[in-house]
A and B are shown apart, each in its own frame.
Chain A
Amino acid sequence: MKKSNLGKIARYQLVCIFLLIGLVAAVVFSINSGTVHMSVKDIFDIIVLRANEGSVESNVIWKIRLPRLLAAAILGGGLSVAGYLLQTFFRNPIAGPYVLGISSGSKMFVGFTMIVLMHYVKTIPAGIIVLAAFVGALVSMAFVMAAARKVTDMSMLLVVGVMIGYICSAITDFFINFAQENEIANLTNWSLGSFSGIGWSDIRVMSIVIFSSLFAVMMLSKPIGAYQLGEGYAKSMGINIKLFRLLLVLFSSLLAATVTAFAGPIAFVGIAVPQIAKMLMNTSKPIIIIPTTFLTGAVFCTFSDLLARTMFAPTELTISTVTAFFGAPFVIWLLLKKKK
């Protein structure tokens, strides 16, 4: 037993190192790619030594590439943890904020808020957008939970979620039709999903929300572990099920909403990444899986964003185009595996 424990720990460490290397690689590649070419030495000088402050290169790095990179990592991690929480909540490996229509709910509320508020203020504070997204996420979540009471089959739940997503998108499109032209440009770009145009103040808001949520979720890892045996057993171990479920709903919605508020709906990250994390670690221990999920999500999204930017440069793909390309086949594979 001792020996196998050591083996497990070695695996955890190895996977962690592997992911960190992946993250560093993604960061290096991302910073080094784009329309403005720079040598690695220049980049190093600009970031570490703060050289050439005020130059075009410095501005590109500090105002465009770095925030975008950080946003992709933080939001990717947050979205993946949101997916993990939803999978725990519904005890369903193919749950995620996108397929369950939660991202679309956020999108609808954010779109509505933006159109209304743009008449009164020039720039809307990030906090307000996050709040609107959170309310939208909770509204969608309420519908999905109501449906989950009726349907026990996990594929049916997915169908319900996709339908809710369509309804929300339809309503969002309806708003956009009535919006003014300069608003549309903003909205449509955002509603397709992208990490572009994120500034340092946004980074600060998302960091506060996502890292504090991540910390809270880590604190919940003991009941999450017990909940894997089902509600009945969890209750018999002394867990306050109602409170626990409420916390799961709140944190998954908050994480998903924050991501949507800044980057729009992003497909399949929430489903695929927690599963990949479990496979990498070959365990489902929450205390291991939650940070791994975050890290994997960060790596996955920075690489996806890199591809979105560079594959058909100067044309940029939406982030969902890339994540869906990798994520959707993975989900199909998961579904087929479950049927066996």
Chain B
Amino acid sequence: MKGEGAGGSGPKFNMYFKTEDLAVGYSGKALIENINIGVEKGKILCLLGPNGSGKSTILKSITRHLNKIAGTVFIDQEDMSHFSSVETAKKLSVVLTDKVAPELMTCGEVVATGRYPYTNHFGKLTEQDNRIVAESMEAVKVLDLMEQEFIRLSDGQKQRVLLARAICQRPEIIVLDEPTSYLDIRHKIELLGILRNMAVEQNVTVILSLHEVDLAAKLADQIILVKDNHVYGYGCPEDILDDEVIKDLYGIEHGSFNMLLGSVELPKTGDMEPQVFVFGGDGYGTLCYRALNKRGISFATGVLYHNDVDYQVAKSLASQTIVEKSFRPVSEFVYEQARKALQKCEVVIDSGFDLEGENNRNRMLLEMARHANKPILSLRKETKHETGSVEYFNDIGALINSDRLKFGSANGHKRKQRRSLAASI
């Protein structure tokens, strides 16, 4: 367990929003207990966890859509259960996952419902209310949709209008339950950007749940990890999130998530001795690794420096990665490792790494391969000397379809055998 998790010491006293021994669940039965989390004013708190882990249950209990089972929720040192529903509405607004389909309501009218706690008995909007509605819509860039009918909008626009509605309520805290579901990448970025700005500029506290680990790490000040109905970790994302925690949190057995790059690699497909040796480096290798992985071709790669982007991907996908520590010449030992790996492989891929340098071991290895007459598939753009075993390709699409990379039925057969074995186990 990382950070201040379940049962650990609670969050600091000066937290603007915090929970003390909160227990949440349905119909009187606690699902998650001992939730001690908090966030300062104007900061972003994000709940991460797999589907069905209880993120929504926690959020709904905070927003009072569910009755909490035990414990206390504080806003600005005050017990939330002392607030009336209208007082709560003035302090806390929400963006829910509920599908909203109001007939014949314009976006302006939807946003204006956010003024509900402030307007008179008939909900008459004053000049000031109208101004706040317009400001809120401007803040999420939907002012031009004012007169449009809400149900005709795209999902991205709808979500923004609903966020404008939440902003319009002029809350201290906004709670959003998976606001980025159904949004394409551009709208995700824009929406989270707006939340960031709100937190920084208007000092609004944001509590949200997200599915995207990479975005959460970049957005949130505090992160709660929820798994199997318990709080699995709590703290700064920079401190508590790493590849292993993510794998464990989501129960990823195959494939991997790279926290540093924020990228996903699908499960490694080649499960045999490497047949291809890829010369990577400077990020040239990554695309080759992924292309090979899609075809189920096992490969070794090297010599990579530890700080190379290619290394981050290679460690997920390659059968063997030959790596040297950063900022030093390749040692004899590593060189020897690479030479052996290269010899065992049937085909070599030259991704077009940097050939410069007196003692460039990779260049030496590549020359060695050429002398050994290994088939070399090269993506190199410059210095094309047509020697027997080198084949040049303009792009990876062509390279990956090369006959050299078709390792015949023996390959498929072996894999089939292995699969049936696996199935019988």
Residues of A with Cβ closer than 8 Å to B? 1, 4, 93, 219, 221-222, 225-226, 228-233, 235-240, 278, 282-285, 287
Size category, B interface: 35 or more
Of B108-116, B212-220, B400-408, the segment with at least 4 beta carbons within 8 Å of chain A is B108-116
List of B residues within 8 angstroms of A235 by Cβ? 64-65, 85
A221 to B122, CA, bound (A): 7
B102 and A229 contacting across the interface, CB-CB below 8 Å: yes
CB pair B123–A222 under 8 Å, yes or no, is yes
A230 touches B146 (CB 8 A): no
Q: Decide: B122 and A233 in contact? CB cutoff 8 A.
A: no
- Docked-complex contact A233 and B113, CB < 8 angstroms: yes
Given A221-B122, A237-B117: A284 in contact with B63 (beta carbons within 8 A): no
Which A residues are CB-close (under 8 A) to B119? 222
Chain B residue with the shortest CB-CB distance to A87: B103
B93, A236: Cβ atoms under 8 Å?
yes
A-B contact pairs, 11 of them (CB 8 A): A4-B147, A219-B121, A222-B121, A226-B116, A229-B100, A229-B102, A230-B100, A236-B92, A237-B89, A238-B90, A239-B116
- Identify which of A219, A230, A287 gathers the most chain B CB atoms within 10 Å of its CB: A230
A240–B116 CA distance with the chains assembled, in angstroms: 13
Contacts of A238 in B (CB 8 A): 84-90, 116-117
Hey, which chain A residues are within 8 Å of B85, CB to CB? Answer: 235, 238-240
Shortest beta-carbon distance from B55 to chain A in Å: 16
- Residues on B with C-beta less than 8 A from A4 are 147
What 15 new A-B contacts, CB under 8 Å, besides A233-B96, A238-B85, A283-B105? A1-B147, A93-B103, A222-B116, A229-B102, A230-B96, A232-B65, A232-B94, A233-B94, A233-B98, A235-B64, A236-B93, A238-B84, A238-B87, A238-B88, A283-B104
B298 within 8 A of A: no
Identify A232's interface contact among B89, B90, B98, B165, CB under 8 A.
B98
Question: Please, how many angstroms separate the alpha-carbon atoms of A1 and B99 in the complex?
Answer: 28
Q: Does B351 contact A (CB under 8 A)?
A: no
- The one of B94, B103, B104, B147 that contacts A236, using a Cβ cutoff of 8 Å: B94
> What residues of B have a CB within 8 angstroms of the CB of A232 in the complex?
65, 94, 96, 98
Q: Report A237 CB to chain B, min CB distance, Å.
A: 4
Q: How far is the CB of A244 from chain B (nearest CB, A)?
A: 11
A236–B117 alpha-carbon span in the complex (Å)? 10
Minimum CB–CB distance for A248 against chain B, Å: 16
State A143–B121 Cα separation when bound (angstroms).
Answer: 33
Q: In this complex, what residue of B is CB-closest to A225?
A: B123
**Contact partners of A228 in chain B: CB under 8 A:** 102-103, 105
For residue B180, which residues in chain A have a CB less than 8 angstroms away from its CB?
A: none
- Bound together, the chains give a CA A230 to CA B96 distance in angstroms of 10
What separation, in Å, do the CA atoms of A72 and B165 have in the docked complex?
Answer: 42
Q: Which residues of A contact B96 (CB under 8 A)?
A: 230, 232-233, 236
Residues of A within 8 A of B123 (CB): 221-222, 225-226, 287
- Whether A237 contacts B116 by the Cβ 8 Å rule is yes
Does B169 sit within 8 A of A, measured CB to CB?
A: yes
Mark contacts of B177-188 with chain A using CB atoms, 8 A cut-off: 1 yes-contact digit, 0 otherwise: 000000000000
A284 touches B113 (CB 8 A): no
Give the distance to chain B from A123, nearest Cβ to Cβ, in Å. Answer: 42
Cα A278 to Cα B84 in complex, Å, equals 34
Q: Across the interface, do A284 and B98 meet the contact criterion of CB distance under 8 Å?
A: no
Known interface pairs A219-B121, A230-B98; A236-B63 also in contact (CB < 8 Å) = yes
Q: Mark B61-99, 1 if CB is under 8 A from A, else 0.
A: 001110000000000000000001111111011101011
Bound form: Cα–Cα A226–B93 in Å: 14
B148, chain A: closest CB distance, angstroms = 11
**Are A229 and B110 in contact, CB atoms less than 8 angstroms apart?**
yes
CA distance A285 to B105 in the complex (A): 8
- CB contacts (< 8 Å) of A225 on chain B: these are 113, 123
Cβ contacts under 8 Å, B84 to chain A: 238
Interfacial chain B residues near A221, Cβ < 8 Å? 122-123
Asked if residues A284 and B122 are in contact (CB atoms below 8 Å), the reply is no
Instruction: With CB as the reference atom, state the residue of chain A lying closest to B63.
Output: A236
B105 touches A284 (CB 8 A): yes
Give A131 to B176 CA distance when docked, in angstroms.
46
Interface centre among A93, A231, A232 (most CB of B within 10 A): A232
B104 touches A282 (CB 8 A): yes
Given the complex, which residues of A lie within 8 Å of B63, measured CB to CB? 236
Q: Which residues of A lie under 8 Å from residue B165 when comparing CB positions?
A: 233
Measured in the bound complex, the distance between the Cα atoms of B311 and A215 in whole Å is: 73
Residue of A nearest to B146 (CB): A1
Shortest distance from the beta carbon of B136 to any chain A beta carbon, whole Å: 14
Complex Cα gap A84–B23 (Å): 40
Nearest to A275 among chain B residues (CB) is B103
A285–B84 alpha-carbon span in the complex (Å)? 26
**Bound CA–CA A221/B113 (angstroms):** 12
Within 8 A of A (CB), among B115-152: 116-117, 119, 121-123, 146-147
Q: Which residue of A lies closest to B89 (CB)?
A: A238
Question: Which of B96, B100, B116, B169 counts the most A-chain CB atoms under 10 A from its CB?
Answer: B116
Determine if A287 and B93 form an interchain contact, defined as CB atoms under 8 angstroms apart.
no
A309 CB to nearest B CB, Å: 35
Minimum CB–CB distance for B106 against chain A, Å = 8
A240 to B89, CA, bound (A): 12
Are A236 and B122 within 8 A (Cβ)? no
Instruction: Give Cα A4 to B86, complex, Å.
Output: 32
Could you say which residues of chain B place their CB within 8 Å of the CB of A284?
Answer: 102-105
Quick one: given A221-B122, A236-B65, are A226 and B86 in contact (CB under 8 Å)? no
